[in-house]
Copies of this chain bind each other. A is one copy, B any other.
């Protein structure tokens, strides 16, 4: 499963095989079962997680006790609560495995050491965060601009694999609608 990380790194920076083997040593390989938490609200987000296989989600629990999913991460994606991670302070989010998942975890101090030993990795993470920042600008636009139905159509047209793969009640939570509303919407669209 290190191949998926190597491919992702190679998209952004030049690392030879020797360097790549050394970079791998900063990571820990972790396996999570479906519905297992990687981070629980109130804990410090100690690691930055790269998804090698499976799917993660980030969510918070609102005052009514309802879980609201704000982000998913499939293969090649990084996920952490970045305020909690960079300040090493308590998180207000949870991160959970949506499927049985293999995750490459980079502990905060290991990441700092990696960046110090391999400064070219600053470029890699700069581009990862710049891309995530860009994606958040687009996402915010859709949240402002699209009705819930339009938002669902946008995701089905642009990310069909994602729509197929994620359980419907989590997709509903991510689209900020009830599972019943999503079910009606799907029936309406396919009829």
List the interface of chain A (C-beta within 8 A of B): 58, 60, 62, 68, 70-71, 81-83, 85-86, 92-93, 115, 119-120, 122-123, 125-127, 129-141, 143-145, 176
Contacts and interface: CB of A to CB of B under 8 A. Distances in A.
A177 to B, nearest CB: 11
Contacts of A137: 58, 70-71, 81-83, 93, 136
Nearest to A58: B137
Interface centre among A68, A130, A143 (most CB of B within 10 A): A130
Contact of A140 (B70, B129, B138): B70
Contact of A141 (B60, B126, B131, B139): B60
A133 B138 contact: no
A134 B83 contact: yes
Q: Which 3 A-B pairs have the closest CB atoms?
A: A136-B136, A82-B134, A129-B129
A126 B13 CA distance: 14
A139 B143 CA distance: 12
A58 B129 CA distance: 19
Contacts of A62: 145
12 contacts: A60-B141, A70-B141, A82-B130, A83-B134, A83-B138, A85-B134, A92-B141, A119-B123, A122-B126, A125-B126, A126-B129, A133-B136
